[in-house]
Amino acid sequence: MRLVVLAGDGIGPEITAATLEVLRAADARFGLKLDLQEMASGVTTLKSEGKTLPDGVIEAIKHADGLVLGPADSYAYAGQGGGAVNPSGYFRRTLDLYGNIRPARTYPGLRSPTGAEFDMVIVRENTEGFYADRNMEQGNAEILVTPDVCISMRRITKLCCDRIAASAFKLAGRRRRHVTAVHKANVLTKGDGMFLASCRAEAEKHPGIAYDEVIVDAMAAHLVRAPQKYDVVVTTNMFGDILSDLALELSGSLGLGGSINAGDRFCMAQASHGSAPDIAGQDRANPASLVLSAAMLLGWHAEQGGTSANAFAAAAGAIEAAVAQVISARDCTADVGGTLGTAAMGRALAAQVART
């Protein structure tokens, strides 16, 4: 498996280094034959080449099986010209990575603010919605009509609704067989109405999977009150972005949020959090989010089949188990109850993977 690795900005290089240590331990333990190609991007290449994504990076990704993407400091890109693109949005759009899969679960030894144990996955449509940088063929979907008037347009298509609904039901079939569609169709009657129509049609194809619907503002309350009720939650882009952060914080820390952006032929691992420039270079950042994202990337590769599928699935499981083990043992960063720095937690995770 050939992976391009872009460390990104802020805490990105630190958590990426820890993630690579874990991936190399999994490679040695399970014989994955990973080809890890580290390349520069983001603020570094914006200063040196005037682009956050140099041509060489884009070309390398065309020949790769997947991408590990560190967080981007998109605020630092503002006003820097056309070469300052957000790598996350760019790859989601150009590689058609329509499914943003974000698990959120509690861990033994780490108390949730709700006091409840839960294990859910939020399946978020990734290529349209209210995101102005990815729902127009040309230009931007946010328009400043006058200095005092802004219009933001949302695009919703049947194709995108159909395939994200199908992804959610496929995932639920491997889990606890329950899908919840989150929407605002009482107000956004046409767009969210189209989304619900796709979810209902998919539910009819899967009579063995429980299906229900919740309005988005009520869902925010339900997640705080009883997150254990939910298994697979499917929703549109912006709602999924907001609810997944809420669910992850309820699990104990946003730093535990693994995430992949998956299409039919390519997958990108990406931490759920931002670049946290305020703690960059201080060896304080929790690497678990990107480590878990990399594990999900290996798991996605296993699902594509092939002679090494079992090894990749086993490696993904070993990495996920290692995260749970280091949290339970307090061999982790301070945000999840430990005393280790970023690099030391990476070493602890790699050691667990090596003996799992």
Catalytic residue among 35, 212, 217, 264: 217
217 part of the active site: yes
Cα torsion angle, 230, 236, 240, 243, sign: negative
Helix (H) or strand (E) holding 235: strand 232-235
184 carries an active-site annotation: yes
CB atoms within 10 A of CB 225: 11
- Of 131, 211, 231, 331, the active-site residue reads 131
Answer yes or no: are the C-beta atoms of 15 and 271 closer than 8 Å. Answer: yes
CA distance 159 to 162: 5
Residue 192 is among the residues annotated as catalytic for this protein: no
Of the chain, the end-to-end C-alpha distance in Å amounts to 21
CA 275 to the chain's CA centroid? 14
**Under 8 Å between Cβ of 118 and 230:** yes
Is 245 among the catalytic positions?
A: yes
Run of H or E residues at 320: helix 309-328
3-state secondary structure of 232: strand
Distances in whole angstroms, Cα of residue 329 to Cα of each of 77, 111, 116, 249:
39, 14, 20, 20
Catalytic residue among 98, 184, 230, 331: 184
Which residue type sits at 73? D
Residue of 119, 133, 245, 335 marked catalytic: 245
Catalytic residue among 27, 231, 241, 331: 241
Active site residues: 131, 184, 217, 241, 245
